[in-house]
């Protein structure tokens, strides 16, 4: 099986490397061509356009930053859709809104191809360790065909039904994750301002009901309140909050805490923290 991979950012590069290590025939493409070089040195072929990627491969995977990036890579004479033919598969692992996924499915089906949305839960380390959670929806036939591929990138893989369900699930997941992280930032800020030992607060949290891997990973970094190298860029988290709030409007479900947290992340963006890890929001809270 020939696999194409478009989008070699923090997540995509790690995921594509795991597929190479697993022995798949991989062809890659990225808007910044220099990001293809490390994978090419490991044996990946390099396509000169998303269309060429889709033409060459049985399944083309996209891992883009936002809906606009998905559309740029998907559409047009050099886009993924232009290279699809009957029986091929288009697997979009980007975090996007429901409408974008549904449009991708429609365009793929018009070419006789299959479509699967499969956003992932996790950041840099789980991507590198192939322990992502993969939420898939769309054409079940493509899910079954691509399952051996997804199993080399994730440890938990779920099929959620029709296209759009995975996008909804990913947005719900991320608003919970963001809310928990923001609460941790505020708790550590309060502990510090009160003269408490923040390491002891982290120890208390880890021994109780809110113990979780994210707190253990990011807690010491937040307590230090200094540098925040991106595992999950803040600008992408704010994009997910924005999409979750849009989904909430469409469904009539109020999201009181998420709306407030989104304003905090917008402030962080305006302060130039977009390329830092989303835990950098603590710098705004500490102010």
Residues tagged active-site:
170
- Whether 14 and 23 have beta carbons less than 8 Å apart is answered as no
Q: What are phi and psi of 159, to 5 degrees?
A: -105, 125
Strands 154-159 and 132-138: parallel
In the 8-state DSSP scheme, what is residue 93?
-
Q: How far is CA 73 from CA 20, 39, 60, 261, in A?
A: 22, 20, 12, 31
Q: CA-to-CA distance for 47 and 253, rounded, in angstroms? A: 43
- Whether 54 and 48 have beta carbons less than 8 Å apart is answered as no
- Whether 275 and 230 have beta carbons less than 8 Å apart is answered as yes
Structure tokens at 190: 């309060």
Q: Which among 166, 77, 48 is positioned nearest to 115, based on CA atoms?
A: 166
Assign 3-state DSSP to the chain and report helix, strand, coil percentages, each to 5: 55, 15, 30
Structure tokens at 76: 């047009």
């Amino acid at each position: 099986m020939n696999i194409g991979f478009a989008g070699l950012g923090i997540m995509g590069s790690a995921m594509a490397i795991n597929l190479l290590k697993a022995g798949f025939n991989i062809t890659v493409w990225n808007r910044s061509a220099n990001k293809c070089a490390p994978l090419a040195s490991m044996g990946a072929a390099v396509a000169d356009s998303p269309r060429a990627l889709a033409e060459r491969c049985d399944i083309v995977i996209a891992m883009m930053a936002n809906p606009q990036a998905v559309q740029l890579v998907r559409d047009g004479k050099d886009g993924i859709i232009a290279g699809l033919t009957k029986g091929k598969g288009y697997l979009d692992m980007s975090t996007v809104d429901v409408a974008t996924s549904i449009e991708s499915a429609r365009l793929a089906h018009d070419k006789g191809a299959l479509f699967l949305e499969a956003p992932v839960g996790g950041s840099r380390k789980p991507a590198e360790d192939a322990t992502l959670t993969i939420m898939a929806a769309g054409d079940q036939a493509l899910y079954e065909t691509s399952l051996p591929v997804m199993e080399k990138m994730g440890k938990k893989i779920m099929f959620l039904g029709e296209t759009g369900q995975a996008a909804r699930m990913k947005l719900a997941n991320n608003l919970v994750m963001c809310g928990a992280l923001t609460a941790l930032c505020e708790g550590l800020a309060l502990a510090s301002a009160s003269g408490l030992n923040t390491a002891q607060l982290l120890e208390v949290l880890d021994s109780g009901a809110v113990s979780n891997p994210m707190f253990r990973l990011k807690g010491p970094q937040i307590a230090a309140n200094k540098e925040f190298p991106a595992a999950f860029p803040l600008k992408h988290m704010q994009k997910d909050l924005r999409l979750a709030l849009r989904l909430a409007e469409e469904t009539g479900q109020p999201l009181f805490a998420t709306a407030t947290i989104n304003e905090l992340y917008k402030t962080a963006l305006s302060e130039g923290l977009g390329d830092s890890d989303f835990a950098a929001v603590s710098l705004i809270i500490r102010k």
